[in-house]
Amino acid sequence: MKKLILIFVAALAISCGDNKKEEKKELKIGTQVEETSPAETTDDAVANVTIEGNDQMKFNKSEIRVKAGQKVKLTLKHVGKMDKTVMGHNWTLLTQDADMAAVGQAAALAKDSEYIPTDMKDKIIVHTKMLGGGESDTIEFDAPAPGTYTFMCTFPGHYALMQGQFIVE
């Protein structure tokens, strides 16, 4: 009887197999050591992530991967020279139901709060400070539930180029 239930559960897992499930399967087959991740993970408990923004209005990463349950220690470095009033960058992580364009448009009007729209705080999981050239900021937060999230810079107009995926596996 137990065996039957197990088979049923396995069948269920396979029947709702999406990309996430397939990835999980691959991970089980492959050895843990060979897992490659752009997240510069140093140990299982903490994901150390560094991402740069520059004067060309670009992040140097379009994808960041961490694991569920990890603490994320993320550092944003502005490697350019321009002032934050003209080329400011932050790293803002949105909830899965957030509309990036809507957040971006609201942010453009939120100069007084460093372009973090206070009326959309429920769409923002976490964010760094707004940085100018040569500055950096480190934030720590718990990885949200597994899934794919969007990150962006909320400086006016920047999200068109400065965005990417934050994937919790």
Residues that bind Zn ion (CB under 5 A): 89, 153, 155, 158, 162
**Contact by Cβ (8 Å): 72, 45:** no
Shorter beta-carbon distance to Zn ion: residue 151 or 155: 155
Q: How far is the CB of 139 from Zn ion (least distance, A)?
A: 16
Q: How far is the CB of 57 from Zn ion (least distance, A)?
A: 6
Q: What Cα–Cα distance (Å) separates residue 118 from each residue in 95, 114, 130?
A: 15, 10, 15
Shorter beta-carbon distance to Zn ion: residue 65 or 158: 158
d(CA 135, CA 113): 18
Q: Report the DSSP beta bridge partners of residue 75.
A: 50, 138
- Amino acid identity at 125: I
Q: How far is the CB of 94 from Zn ion (least distance, A)?
A: 15
Q: What Cα–Cα distance (Å) separates residue 108 from each residue in 48, 81, 114?
A: 30, 22, 9
Q: What Cα–Cα distance (Å) separates residue 43 from each residue in 40, 100, 137?
A: 9, 31, 21
The DSSP symbol for 44 reads S
Shorter beta-carbon distance to Zn ion: residue 12 or 101: 101
Question: Minimal CB distance to Zn ion: which residue?
Answer: 153
Shorter beta-carbon distance to Zn ion: residue 41 or 59: 59
Shorter beta-carbon distance to Zn ion: residue 64 or 153: 153
Q: How far is the CB of 137 from Zn ion (least distance, A)?
A: 13
Q: How far is the CB of 74 from Zn ion (least distance, A)?
A: 15
